[in-house]
C-alpha cells in the first residue's frame, strides 16, 4: 500500500473509529507515500484513481458502501482493508480479521490479498448478505440505543424477542432455472453465511470466493420449532427438512410484494421483483 484513502464511519458501533484514528494514522505514516482520511459521506465526491488501497473503518454497512463506490467508479482493482469497528463486523470475521486493531494491522503487513465475490441485487451491491422476513425485522427494528449498549449482542436479544412474533409469508423463487414455492418466516441470501462473528453459519461450506451464494429458507412457524432449528444450526446440523431448506445458487429471482429487506445491514424496500446474481472475484480484500 502506497497511496491510501481511509473511509471512516465515526458513528458506527460504539464510535470505535474515533478511538482507532490516531493508531491508524501512525501506522500509515510509517508505510505510505500519502494517505487521506475522509468521512463516509464524502466518498462519492472523491477522485479514487490516485489511491491503490481503500481502508473501510466501520461496520458491514461501511464496507458495503465502499465496495459499491469502487464498482460504480470502475475502480474494483483497488484493495480494500477493513478496520472492523461496527456493530456486527461479519465480513471482517469471515476474512479472519480481528477486532483488536493491533492484530488486524499486523495482518495487513503480511499483505495477504483475497479476491471475493459480490452479489448484485437490483443494481445494488452486497458483499455479505440480503435478508427478508425475520432477518430484516431484526436488522431494521433493533433500537440503536440497544446496539450502543450491547454491541452485536443486541441483535441476539432482538432475535429472541422477535421469535415470539414470527410472520410466515409466501415466496415464489426461481434459482438457476429451478422453481420453489414456499411459505417461510425468513429468507437469507448470503455471500458470507456466518452470523454472530463466526459462531454459527446458515450455509454449508460457504466461502466468499466460490462463485455461489448460500440461501437459507426458515419455515418454522412458532418459537418452539424456531429454537429447535436454531439449535441444529449452532451444532452444524444443517439439512433440508420441514423446518428449513438450504441450497446454493449463482442467480435468483424472488417475486416481490413490497418486501422489507436489508442489504448488508442497511434497510431497503425494493419495489420490483428481486433479482440477485453473483459477480465472481470482483473485489480485492486483505484477509488473514
Tell me the pLDDT tens digit for each residue of 44-79: 999 999 999 999 999 998 999 999 999 999 999 999
Q: How many domains does the chain have?
A: 2
* Residue 287 in domain: no
User: What is the predicted pLDDT for the residue at 8?
Assistant: 94
Q: Are residues 97 and 216 in the same domain?
A: no
Q: Please report which helix (H) or strand (E) contains residue 108, including its range.
A: helix 101-109
Q: Are residues 146 and 247 in the same domain?
A: yes
Q: Are residues 272 and 155 in the same domain?
A: yes
56, 79, 111 - which closes a domain:
111
Residues 218-231: pLDDT tens digits? 999 899 999 999 89
Q: Are residues 153 and 267 in the same domain?
A: yes
Q: Are residues 165 and 275 in the same domain?
A: yes
**SS3 assignment, position 161:** helix
C-alpha 178/C-alpha 88 separation (Å) is 33
**How do beta strands 274-286 and 79-84 pair?**
parallel
pLDDT tier for residue 13 given thresholds of 50, 70 and 90: low
Torsions phi, psi for 114 (to 5 deg): -120, 135
Q: How far, in Å, are 40, 61, 105 from residue 127 at the CA level?
A: 17, 10, 22
Mean pLDDT for all residues in the chain: 91
* Residue 134 in domain: yes
Residues 242-271: pLDDT tens digits? 999 999 999 999 997 767 799 998 888 888
111, 146, 163 - which closes a domain:
111
pLDDT at residue 14 greater than cutoff 80: no
Domain interval for residue 233: 126-280
Among 28-32, 94-98, 196-200, 261-265, where is mean pLDDT lowest? Answer: 196-200
**How do beta strands 53-58 and 79-84 pair?**
parallel
Q: Are residues 156 and 268 in the same domain?
A: yes
- Cell numbers found for residue 252: 435468483
More confidently predicted of 267 and 241: 241
More confidently predicted of 56 and 142: 56
- CB neighbour burial string for 142-163, b if at least 16 within 10 angstroms, e if fewer: beeeebeebbbebbeebbeebb
Sheet of 129-133: strands edge to edge? 244-249, 213-218, 186-190, 129-133, 260-263, 266-269
pLDDT at residue 154 greater than cutoff 70: yes
Query: The pTM is what?
Result: 0.90
Amino acid at each position: 500500500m502506497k497511496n491510501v484513502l481511509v473511509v471512516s464511519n465515526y458513528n458506527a458501533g460504539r464510535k470505535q473509529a474515533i478511538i482507532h484514528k490516531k493508531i491508524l494514522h501512525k501506522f500509515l505514516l510509517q508505510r505510505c507515500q500519502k494517505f487521506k482520511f475522509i468521512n463516509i459521506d464524502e466518498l462519492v465526491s472523491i477522485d479514487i484513481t490516485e489511491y491503490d488501497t481503500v481502508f473501510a473503518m466501520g461496520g458491514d454497512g461501511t464496507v458495503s458502501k465502499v465496495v459499491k463506490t469502487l464498482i460504480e467508479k470502475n475502480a474494483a482493482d483497488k484493495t480494500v482493508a477493513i478496520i472492523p469497528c461496527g456493530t456486527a463486523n461479519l465480513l471482517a470475521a469471515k476474512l479472519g480479521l480481528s477486532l483488536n486493531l493491533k492484530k488486524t494491522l499486523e495482518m495487513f503487513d503480511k499483505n495477504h490479498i483475497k479476491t471475493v465475490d459480490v452479489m448484485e441485487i437490483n443494481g445494488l451491491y452486497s458483499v455479505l448478505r440480503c435478508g427478508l422476513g425475520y432477518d430484516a425485522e431484526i436488522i431494521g427494528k433493533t433500537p440503536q440505543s440497544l446496539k450502543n449498549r450491547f454491541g452485536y449482542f443486541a441483535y441476539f436479544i432482538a432475535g429472541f424477542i422477535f421469535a415470539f412474533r414470527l410472520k410466515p409469508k409466501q415466496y415464489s423463487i426461481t434459482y438457476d432455472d429451478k422453481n420453489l414455492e414456499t411459505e417461510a418466516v425468513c429468507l437469507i441470501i448470503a455471500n458470507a453465511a456466518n452470523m454472530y462473528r463466526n459462531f454459527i453459519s446458515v450455509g454449508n461450506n460457504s466461502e466468499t470466493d466460490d462463485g455461489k451464494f448460500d440461501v437459507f429458507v426458515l419455515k418454522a412457524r412458532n418459537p418452539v420449532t424456531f429454537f429447535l432449528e436454531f439449535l441444529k444450526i449452532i451444532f452444524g446440523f444443517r439439512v433440508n427438512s420441514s423446518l428449513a431448506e438450504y441450497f446454493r445458487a449463482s442467480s435468483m429471482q424472488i417475486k416481490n410484494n413490497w418486501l422489507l429487506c436489508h442489504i448488508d445491514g442497511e434497510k431497503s424496500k425494493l419495489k420490483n421483483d428481486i433479482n440477485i446474481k453473483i459477480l465472481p472475484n470482483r473485489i480485492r480484500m486483505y484477509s488473514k
